[in-house]
Amino acid sequence: MKSNLDAPDWSTIPAPIDDGAARHLTGARMASVGLASTKGETVDLSALRGRVVVYAYPRTGTPGAENPDGWDMIPGARGCTPQSCSFRDHFAELRAKGVDHLFGLSTQDAAYQREAAERLHLPFAILSDEGLALTAAMNLPIFETSGMTLLKRFTLVIDDGVVTHVFYPVFPPDRNAADLIDWLSNS
């Protein structure tokens, strides 16, 4: 029996294409922007030392609440919960591969994200770019739907404040953590 956390059949959902919206990020220094975290702290990704991984996603839904109209047909929109659960399930392995800090990132507010982080038992913080400050400063890939500005799905590998690798587009989302581990093992 499938639980509501199981991934959908990805073959029925349109895959995102590489539109070049993240090409400028490799080699970029992270902007100094304070982001609210689900752990109650403010995190400035530019100030963190060591290897930082940030996976960005559009939005997590709330159990029992409908997604925006047409959500499943927006390429790359579906899959935020399976992606987060994959990073949760691979957290220890990522740490063993040299990831000093792991964060999720969305434009949802920290209170909304906190509910999801608790419900999904995430051992890492989710960061909120609700005011789109980091999104604007770094020109992060976005899309708009139902009056919301949302991040497209991507993953940044940041070493001492500089983006050294970008996964974009990310599909299927539940493979993102395993793809990152493969990259870490071979780089």
pLDDT tens sequence across 99-126: 999 999 999 999 999 999 999 999 999 9
Q: What is the pTM of this model?
A: 0.94
Which amino acid appears at position 101 of this protein?
A: H
d(CA 77, CA 122): 21
Q: How does pLDDT run across 135-164, given as a tens digit for each residue? A: 999 999 999 999 999 999 999 999 999 999
